[in-house]
């Protein structure tokens, strides 16, 4: 069987979740450190929400107890259009191999749907960053690496809809 389509490897990962919450609530949950520490990996993430502004994500207390460094991720805001769209660069710096892969590009799209439901789409372009790509796809979950974006977004949905995280 032949195909005429050029098959370039796709390094983008796309995740989508529907949450019964306002776009503003979802925007806050992504960009406010008091929210980011309440779901997913549980670290505070600080944003300077203007183009060129710094993004810095810290490890959670639980991760530091296990010997993790203080800073988990670094990046820069590319575009901030609250509460619709956030584009940033993103690099995990917890280990030298990941840090050496350099910055990836992360986009959040937040769109209201009918009935008080909002659609959150995460587009993560991981070109040149195979280790980070594996980690955030959840490939290291059984080894304690967390479940990546699906896990983070499932937990975020639970937090915003029920006020509680998933059962740990």
Q: How far is CA 59 from CA 2, 5, 40, 53, 79, in A?
A: 48, 43, 11, 20, 24
- The residue within the footprint of other proteins, chosen from 13, 31, 59, 118 (CB under 8 A), is 13
Stretch that binds other proteins, among 11-19, 26-34, 54-62, 65-73 (CB under 8 A): 11-19
* For other proteins, the closer CB: 13 or 132: 13
Write the binding mask 86 to 115 for other proteins: x where contact by CB under 8 A, - elsewhere: ------------------------------
Q: Which is nearer to other proteins, 14 or 62 (CB)?
A: 14
Integer distance in angstroms from the first to the last C-alpha of the chain? 48
The 8-class DSSP code of residue 140 comes to T
CB of 96 to other proteins, least distance (A): 27
**Is residue 18 within the footprint of other proteins (CB under 8 A)?**
yes
Q: What are the start-end ranges of the H helices in the chain? A: 23-31, 33-36, 61-65, 96-101, 130-136, 148-162
Give 65 or 167: the residue with its C-beta nearer to other proteins.
167
DSSP secondary structure letters along 116-134: T-EEEEEEEE-TT-HHHHH
Site for other proteins contains 154 (CB under 8 A): yes
Residue from 87, 98, 123, 131 touching other proteins (CB under 8 A): that is: 123
Neighbours of 167 (CB within 10 A): 5
What is the number of alpha carbons within 13 Å of residue 105 lying toward its C-beta? 8
The answer to whether 146 contacts other proteins (rule: CB under 8 A) is no
157 binds other proteins (CB under 8 A): yes
Percent helix, strand and coil across the chain, each to the nearest 5? 30, 30, 40
Enumerate binding residues for other proteins (CB under 8 A).
1, 3-5, 7, 9-10, 12-18, 121, 123, 138, 147, 149-151, 153-154, 157-158, 166-167
């Amino acid at each position: 069987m032949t195909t005429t389509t050029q098959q370039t490897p796709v390094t983008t990962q796309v995740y989508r979740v529907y949450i019964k919450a306002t776009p503003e609530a979802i925007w806050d949950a992504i960009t406010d450190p008091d929210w980011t520490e309440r779901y997913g990996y549980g670290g505070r993430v600080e944003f300077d929400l203007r183009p060129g502004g710094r993004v810095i994500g810290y490890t959670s207390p639980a991760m530091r107890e296990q010997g993790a460094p203080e800073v988990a991720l670094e990046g820069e805001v590319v575009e901030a259009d609250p509460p619709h769209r956030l584009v940033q660069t993103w690099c995990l710096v917890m280990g030298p191999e990941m840090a050496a892969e350099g910055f990836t590009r992360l986009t959040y799209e937040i769109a209201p749907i009918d009935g008080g439901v909002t659609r959150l789409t995460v587009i993560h372009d991981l070109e040149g960053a195979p280790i980070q790509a594996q980690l955030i796809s959840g490939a290291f979950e059984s080894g304690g690496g967390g479940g990546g974006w699906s896990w983070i977004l499932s937990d975020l949905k639970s937090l915003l809809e029920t006020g509680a995280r998933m059962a740990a």
